[in-house]
Structure 1
């Protein structure tokens, strides 16, 4: 079985901002376990100038993408088996996959399951100091991770490579099916990020504040977390 980790560098936070790089790295299982492959990447012509503020993050400039393929052509090379005209990989993986999935729609990738290593890390390692890709890398210190392939950060190939190691570590703690299920749900947040209880573990937020939050118009991750915590306490009190 092979899982393909992907990462995008873009010209903005959401479409119609263009993609300027796609990175990928495979996690392959054999009789000895899961193995991280060699990362790859393709620069992409985003179809419009790259804003300087996004170049400041990934350091990809207009000059770098002259003559690069279109997003459609690059995506086809990454996701499709040209001989069979289909997408052969059952599961795609990204850290905070919600971002990548804005561009990597079923029309681009084919119908596949997704794993979000960010959502999974929140569940498996709630005590991590941060759940960013880079922080988890240095906190977990995955065996076999090569620094020369993991850097520079904020480039698609190295970021996909790091995420592949995070995925391997997650699979040592839970199953592939559970990772797919967790990834299909909103994120289960660890700490409150607003108001008078900002920074407090959701498990320690007062019950009356949870009930107040549950009645507000909040983002789906916060509401999912609040309702899950209310349910947990209700069941524990029975």
Structure 2
């Protein structure tokens, strides 16, 4: 008997801005990645996209990114009329995925996704491919050059389907290196940054920093920076082990 493959659905949104409910969705794109009979993951189906009426005008600053016009979404359906069918496909998917998934999760609430697990391909890329020169969707695309990607199908950038299509290739290769459960676990943690993001140490490997410098990053405003600095200090104190007693960091700095 033919069985329906398990899928992870990659989602990408274009919106009027960054913060709901002030801002709203104007386009959703998707592309499935399925587990094959051979135990390998690959893209499945054609994917798709749908314009959405945001119920408000689209600011010029966001039109300049995705080039979607007010008149193009005026007769489009409302978000709550289309979201569930895209976010919760039958058969029920194992998880949803997006690049920097925290953005999509603001609009794709648990009520719309049936409390789906999320995979953040940005966070997972930093775990699996820390040597990449950058971790944006498009940087990974041109650095990795995923097998099978049709260049034109991933264009234009900053439109919902092309971006979901590109992300799906990253996810496919991640799933062929790590389990769904592992990717979800990493996605639920802050980002583990391979290099310092900004400031006088920008671009340096965290392993190159002195303990006193790392200690200053423990109070940084950025959660990912604080998390990365803490784990590096714990690694030094525990011979490579991650997840030590938090008091060990304090002892190391005394």
* TM bracket, shorter-chain basis: over 0.9
Distance 1:27 1:141 in 2: 18
* SS across alignment from 2:107: coil
In the TM superposition, what is the alpha-carbon distance from 1:194 to its structure 2 partner?
2.8
**Distance (whole Å) between structure 2 residues aligned to residue 27 and residue 133 of structure 1:** 17
* Total equivalences in the alignment: 233
Aligned pair partner of 2:17 in 12, 19, 24:
12
User: Once the 2 structures are TM-superposed, how far is the Cα of residue 97 of structure 1 from its aligned partner?
Assistant: 0.2
Structure 1 position 188 matched with structure 2 position 188? no
Give how far 1:206 is off: 1.4
Q: TM-score, normalised by structure 1?
A: 0.93
Looking at structure 2, the residues matched to 222 and 237 of structure 1 have their Cα atoms a distance apart, in angstroms, of: 19
Instruction: State the distance in 1 between where 2:100 and 2:240 align.
Output: 34
Q: 1:108 aligns with which of 97, 102, 112?
A: 112
Uncovered stretches (5+) of structure 2, i.e. residues with no partner: 1-5, 242-254
Query: Given the alignment, which residue of 61, 71, 81 partners 2:79?
Result: 71
For residues 97-176 of structure 1, what are the structure 2 equivalents within 5 Å? 97-176=101-180
Kept in 1, the 8 Å contact 2:41–2:176? The answer is no
Q: Is the 8 A contact 1:7 1:157 kept in 2?
A: yes
Q: CA deviation at 1:47?
A: 0.8
- Change beyond 3 A, Cα 1:217–1:144: closer
Give me the whole-angstrom Cα distance separating, in 1, the residues matched to 2:156 and 2:47: 13
- Confirm whether residue 96 of structure 1 aligns to residue 100 of structure 2: yes
The structural deviation recorded for 1:212 is 2.1
Over 3 Å counting, the alpha-carbon distance change for 1:30 and 1:124 in structure 2 is same
Is the 2:52–2:77 contact (alpha carbons within 8 Å) kept by the matching residues of 1?
A: yes
Q: 1:220-235, aligned counterparts within 5 Å?
A: 220-235=223-238
Whole-angstrom distance in 1 between the partners of 2:24 and 2:212? 44
Distance 1:204 1:18 in 2: 42
Distance 1:237-1:63 versus aligned 2 partners, 3 A rule:
closer
Q: How does 1:202-213 map to 2 (within 5 A)?
A: 202-213=206-217
Alpha-carbon offset, residue 87 of structure 1: 8.1
Report how far residue 237 of structure 1 moved: 8.1
What CA distance in whole angstroms lies between the structure 2 residues aligned with 1:87 and 1:66? 32
- Structure-2 separation of matches of 1:177 and 1:154: 29
Gaps of 5+ in 1: none
Q: Distance in 2 between matches of 1:66 and 1:196?
A: 48
Runs of 4+ in 1 over 4 A off after TM superposition: none
Instruction: Normalising by structure 2, report the TM-score.
Output: 0.87
Distance 1:192 1:112 in 2: 32
Q: 1:21 maps to which residue? A: 27
Compute the RMSD of aligned alpha carbons: 1.6
Q: What does the per-residue CA deviation read over 1:114-135, in whole Å, with 9 as the maximum and x for residues that have no partner?
A: 1000000001111101100011
Shift of 1:217: 4.7
**Partners of 1:30 and 1:237 in 2: CA distance:** 36
Closer/same/farther in 2, CA of residues 197 and 52 from structure 1, 3 Å limit: same
Farther off after superposition, 170-179 or 112-121: 170-179
